Structure 1
Amino acid sequence: MTAESEEPGTAQPESTASSGARTSFRPSARKGRGADTTSVAGLPIFCRARHFARGANVYNVPLWDLTSRWLPEELKAFSSVSSASSAKVAVVSADAGISRIAFQAALGAESDGEDPNPTAPKAGTYRGDDEDAPSDSDQSETGWEGPLGGESRVWSRAAVDGGLLLLRRVQAAALLLAAAEEGGAPAPSYGLGVSAALFSPEFIAEGADVSLDKRLAQILRTREPHFAVCALRSGHFAGAVFRGQEAIVHKAIHRYTVRAKAGGAQSSCDGGKTVKSVGSSLRRYGEVRLAEEIKELMTKTWAAELAACELVLVSVSNRMKSTLLGTEKEPFLPESAKVRKMPFMVGKPTFEAIREAYLRVACVTFADEKTAEVLAARFRPAPAKPAPVAEAAVKQAAPKIEAAPVKPYCEDEDELYTALHAAAAAEDEELITALLDDGANPCVRDGKGRVPYHLCYTQRTRDAFRRYRGSNEEEWDWGEARVPDGINDETDQKKREKEKDKNKRKKDKAKANKVQAKEEADEKLRKDEEERKMLEAAQSKCDSCSKPLVSKPFSRLSFLYCSPDCVKTHMRELQAEAAMKRFSGT
């Protein structure tokens, strides 16, 4: 299928890049010649179906797929701006509709080669291993906040797939002329966005439309971007130098530097304590070798390729930045202003990952007017809060309702607090029994809803209520009085017998455990003695004293001895025995 026959909104499959020394991306589509031609949706005609990102509803067009002379009408004035500071150009503002705003000497001091702010740090300057600088988890050192994004601004921030873009509202050229013929009605516009990594942090912090427009015109005039992309994380390094659709050189390195399962580099673990193990030694060696290989690659092998690059895009944490870029005193790249941190996360450093990151940076994003508003909505300034004076007036006008003071509870003033309550609280057992014998009601509640039994704090006072219940079970509703089962002489006897049986079982069990422990100890001693005798029987013994040989024996003829004395003693015994045999004639 040709580029002209593709329908917008239908994605076409892309070809996969090879991993050779020079790797090419998908061949660009045939470029049209109409610089101001727009599609039906108001977007440029080169926005094809293969560029459509369905999830974000935008078109990501690589720079090499743009037509050779295409440039938005608002940026054409910058295409003729040279180093002469007297050039006068006109810019079309999207906020002013069709009206043109003229300005004199665009970027005057900058075009003359002067730095308007010599004390400001250069774009992308490496500032050493600053622990307070943001890491990859913060998405970038590129500013996500600032003056961009106002309602009357043509520039705003936008986010597509987690990456920060700078989005400019551009009016479609054909629709722009139609709107002019209709009497100056505002023409429909679309959003044109490029990666924030292509802009210096100073431009983003300043947020001036003129500076951003000039830089955007330079980017859109580029058809073969010459960028280097490097990523380093968890012992994995991947880097490549790209020119247009080709990867001139690329390399991937992996070293064992991360602790398995526990995670984290070995150097970070060594900060608190010194670990001495085979694994830690291997990880320390891996970190040293990885740093040496990256330094040789950046300073020698790829020195010429990196020097010729327009930008060096990196994805690295602050702690590992010195490993990839060197220190402030000894940087690996002489032109540190070319170093930019990518405004999105990069996965595991591989050639495929950095190639995808390069494509994201080298693409121009096109979105219709509605989609552009959605992408930039989260970066719009928050609405102004109401004046604090009005809030104070509302607070003063509102009537103050004060809660009535709560009177503290006093038992002396409680009419429902009975003498039985007082006896239970005083832990007087005799008085409790006397009051119950006189007919005091144990079910009555005081002003706080408590029965007398609830005020008993000791076991003896509670037993006084239970003993009275044991002898007068039918007199009161003891369930309402919250008194447990009653106690009498019979229950006391059963309780004592139960306790006696429990103690007896406990003693019998302890005695049985003692007898069992003694039997187990005797059995263990018997087994140990048998094992010792078996071991002695299995061991070699001295032929003189018959003791077991526990060390290297002394040998003579076919005999073994435990000491030199045994050798001499046994030799004399053998000589004497031989002499006796000779004298006896046997």
Structure 2
Amino acid sequence: MSTPTSILSRGVSVYSIPSELLANLSVRSIQAQPTAEVEEANPQASVPKATPSNLPGGAGLSCQTCPSANFDTVEEQRAHFKSDWHRYNAKAKLTGRTVTAEEWDGMVEGISSISGSESSSSSGSSSQSKVAKLLKRQTLGGNNDNASDDEEALELADRQRRAHLRTAVIWFSPTAPLPSLGIPKDTHFGVHRALFPPFETAADYLTELRRMQLTGTDEVDGERRLTLLMVAGGHFAGMVVSIKPRGKSEKQEVKGAGEVRVLKHKTFHRYTTRKKQGGSQALNDNAKSKAVSAGAMLRRYGEQALQEEIRALMLDWEDDLAASERIFIRASTHGKKSFYGYEGAVLSKNDERFRTFPFPTRRPTLQELLRCWHEVTRIKVSHLSEEALRALDEEYIASLQPKNKPIKPTPTPAPAPSAPIIPKLSPEEEAKIDRRKRLEEMVRKGRLDALKPFWTKYQSDFEPSEVLGLVASSGQEEMLRYLLEEAKLDPTQPISTSNNRRPYEISANKNIRNVFRRVAYNHPEWYDWVVDARVPSGLSDEMEQEQNSKKNERRKGLKEKLKEREKQRAAEAEIEEQREKEAEERKQKEEAMRNVAMSLSGGGGGASKGPQKLGGKVGGEGLGGMSQEMRLQIERERRARAAEARFGRG
């Protein structure tokens, strides 16, 4: 009999949880868990275990805390959770003294209403403090020996409640084994608190989680719409995402979370922050004197332009913002002025749909918004045991102890040995480490023939996503093609050792990325390649040939341009060389003519002084070495001078 495929092999959407799992979930919160400290302080305290009959959100609406509290509608149940009776029992439950509705009426008979007698300005926190005072008064009026222990139990209960309200993730646990879904023991599922309304009790979260499922009959025509907005460092990114249930004619698979569409998205950037300085120009102006540099003026202009662009975008997205059930905003106090707090603002500062991102975010980009969308709307999975979870709960509750209140001394643990004890590995662990090294060596050397039988035999020892990431980052194309197409490893699972990125995102080069794209084109029905595997698009043979032909044409054009450019340079060099040669010859002729002229004019036709250039004396024998043309020219000049001399004498 084959083992069923676990639903945990793919990401599970908060809005599309399998019905079998949803029907067997219960809320696991710090508020609902007993601790060893309370049990030691109050041995008589007993907290009933959750059973299918009293699970929250069941067929009959009830309250696990208050005895005999049943309701016909969800609204009545929510109103009960805000009542003084429930608040009293929520704290008295850990001391074993919960009361019925009749007993509660008798306790407060003759006493003014704990919350209703106050003025209209009294807050919920004031009502809760008065409930605590009543509990303390009753405790002091009883056995004085146990008064201090009871007071400590009440304080612990209050810290438990505050711890429950501060956790960023609401955890749910199956109430029964689910072998058909392939869920192992000690598996817990977490949902970000930001997706829920601000509840004060654990029971409301399961009811709301079941209401959030996409069934096609939900409010707003079965659609869930979220808006994500980020602004930081002059960068803005915004996105409106809609998720709807698939139609009846469409095939619904476990991997599908419905029809996800990005309705609107926009990014832009303005120069608002000086490089390596941090902080906006407005904050710098408020902290110091107003700078008058050109850069400061540009940054002020950028801040104003960015604010105006965001406000114009909010006005353009008014309908989508109104239809969004949650609006996640990441912005500084100054940056939030772009979203609300001005005349004509689409959003209000006190909008209950506002949420901050419950995890660290990077620079505002469209890719970062998509990452945050997946992080918020995907179920978190934990495999911690109950003992480990209880230890974490107690540690977190202890951290809420007031600083000015003395903490009970704890027994000092025995000193640790000076030399660390290295645990000895079992033969199985050593064999796994050895197989890991062999796998890395095969991938590094590209030995596909050796990898195939090795993977067939030992694939259960490795995480598929880790192996795909190792091959993709090593640049082994043939191995990657084998693992994707023949071994059918899932590329949608995150790699825990690589900051939860997908194997495609750590590819070594473009050729590796093309392998993912080819498989995505050939087998689009295997996975949600774009959303889960983060492969941008498929790549067919025709598309690749077209890309290669375009690349070859570009290369050919570049080569021809280079050849033409070399020819042009050679021609220009030849012309320049010819010009220099002609200029040199011309210079030599002019120099020779100048020397002859000087020799002729030096002594009125007589003998020249000193040695003569161009062959010595200027006589009939001194013209040797000259061209015929130069000789004739010199002879004509000599005759002309002789004629001038004769005319002068006559």
Same fold, judged at TM 0.5 (above): no
Choose between structure 1 and 2: higher strand proportion: 1
TM-score (normalizing by structure 1): 0.40
TM-score (normalizing by structure 2): 0.37
Choose between structure 1 and 2: higher helix proportion: 2
